[in-house]
Structure 1
Amino acid sequence: MPRAIISPSVLASDFGNLTAECKRMIKGGADWLHMDVMDGHFVPNITMGAPILSSVSKGVPGIFMDCHMMVSEPEKWVNDIADAGGALYCFHLEATKEPLPLIHAIHARKMKAGVAISPDTPSTAITDEIANAADMLLVMTVYPGRGGQAFLERCVPKVAELRARFPNIDIEVDGGVGPKTIDVCAHAGSNVIVAGTAIFGAEHPEQVIADLKSTVGAAQELAQRSQ
């Protein structure tokens, strides 16, 4: 069973103090930092790009940047993100017609490869061939493009379907996830949890991170006992 991983979404941080915010999350127990890269084309918003990621990487040595590429033509940005210190490059299946060559290109730059699907894309769009080549699958539980949206529980069955097919791969959920919605995600089989406001806006983020991780661990233990 893949380990529980908490990846706070930097989109919910104070961008004016980005390096300090990332250090605060790592000190609080975060495993990864989720970096939302938006290009204004694939989604109607613009956030951060490779120069900002590079600055964070230099300011926070050893950081694992989980780069969520909400961009058109994701093939174009692999080298830039790798050079900036990205550790995982997660592209949207809807944004490319050639997912397998893209996964190979990501691996060639020594990054992990993730494949994301938006709320209206069925989990069956991720074929066995794609999943077996990738390192992580991301199920969006909001529409990509902006933070603070309400959690879409109708997306959760996709997590369960993917976990049933791929018991050993990392499965991430992103969007509206926090203490009130973690249970359904964890019991469906997600082990990588992205949370933004729920962590960055908390008085004690380290406690929220610990609670989220504990919930995933408990769900995994229950799933193992029921097998």
Structure 2
Amino acid sequence: MNKNYIEVVPAILAKTKEEFEKKLIAVPSANIIQIDIMDGRFVDNKTVSFDQISSLLPLQKEIEYHLMVQDPYLWIEAIPPRKKNIFQIHVEAVSPQEIDEIIDLVEKKSAKLCFALNPDTPIEILNKLPDINHVLLMTVHPGKSGQQYIKEVENKISKLRKLKPDCIIEIDGGANESTSLSAIAAGANRIAMASAIFNSPNPDKQYIKFKNLFNQR
């Protein structure tokens, strides 16, 4: 992967199947989407489940499943094998033994794995985990969209970029034009965007605008 290319990922947080479908069809140009899955336990909020949206999923797109759940193994187990799936699990929600089991399961699912870290979780925790080439750094506290970007996370972005020059470093939360450019300057190369895209009158046009803007460097 070219770490200098900035990937923009429309992030869909939906509480109903209808809301999910509306957002999905609003960004036809996106080759990758993120689906927020919340169980009401790891975070207070609750979203649609995989069963509710499985018939709507676009087979041609890469899909990030951002699993803000207490038992990610069970959720991953319920999703059919697919090479274009990326499972993002929170290190705060699992034990080291569970991580090993999840890695084996993700391999069986022909998918990829990403470690997600909350704003207060130090990146040093990654030293104790298997080497994974995709890290999601939360720039808000997980659970709902529309929160204010936590700029201090950029210190973690810079530190992680020095430690892992070829890693996918994704940010999620409070991403708009200015905060995204600031995160990119710190070393991020993948930006999950929810409100900044879907609150626009034309989400697809907004997605294309961000994608072009972030790669004009």
Normalising by structure 1, what TM-score? 0.84
Is the Cα contact below 8 Å between 1:93 and 1:116 reproduced in 2?
yes
Higher share of residues assigned helix:
1
* Partners of 2:15 and 2:158 in 1: CA distance: 30
5 Å-filtered alignment, 1:38-53, equals: 38-53=38-53
Amino acid at match of 1:174: D
Using the TM superposition, give the Cα deviation of residue 35 of structure 1 relative to its aligned residue in structure 2, in angstroms. Answer: 0.5
Using the TM superposition, give the Cα deviation of residue 190 of structure 1 relative to its aligned residue in structure 2, in angstroms. Answer: 1.1
Where 2:183 maps in the other structure, the secondary structure is helix
Using the TM superposition, give the Cα deviation of residue 146 of structure 1 relative to its aligned residue in structure 2, in angstroms. Answer: 1.1
The structure 1 residue matched to 2:147, chosen from 142, 146, 149, is 149
Is the Cα contact below 8 Å between 1:54 and 1:85 reproduced in 2?
no
Unaligned 5+ segments in structure 2 are none
Residue of structure 1 in register with 2:56 after alignment? 56
Identity across matched positions, percent: 27
Residue of structure 2 in register with 1:127 after alignment? 127
Residue of structure 2 in register with 1:71 after alignment? 69
RMSD after superposition:
2.3
Residue of structure 1 in register with 2:159 after alignment? 161
Alpha-carbon displacement from aligned partner over 1:71-112 (angstroms, at most 9, x marks no partner): 112122222123599711110000111223322321221111
Is the Cα contact below 8 Å between 2:15 and 2:48 reproduced in 1?
no
Normalising by structure 2, what TM-score? 0.88
Residues 182 and 14 (structure 1 numbering): CA distance in 2 closer, same or farther, change over 3 Å? farther
Amino acid at match of 1:111: A
Residue of structure 2 in register with 1:19 after alignment? 21
* Partners of 1:53 and 1:112 in 2: CA distance: 20
Amino acid at match of 1:175: G
Where 1:208 maps in the other structure, the secondary structure is helix
Is the Cα contact below 8 Å between 1:12 and 1:197 reproduced in 2?
no
Is the Cα contact below 8 Å between 1:33 and 1:66 reproduced in 2?
yes
Is the Cα contact below 8 Å between 2:157 and 2:183 reproduced in 1?
yes
Residue of structure 2 in register with 1:7 after alignment? 9
Using the TM superposition, give the Cα deviation of residue 178 of structure 1 relative to its aligned residue in structure 2, in angstroms. Answer: 1.1
Alpha-carbon displacement from aligned partner over 1:181-201 (angstroms, at most 9, x marks no partner): 111111111111111111011
Residues 196 and 114 (structure 1 numbering): CA distance in 2 closer, same or farther, change over 3 Å? same
Is the Cα contact below 8 Å between 2:16 and 2:47 reproduced in 1?
no
The count of residues paired between Structure 1 and Structure 2 equals 213
Amino acid at match of 2:160: L
Amino acid at match of 2:25: K
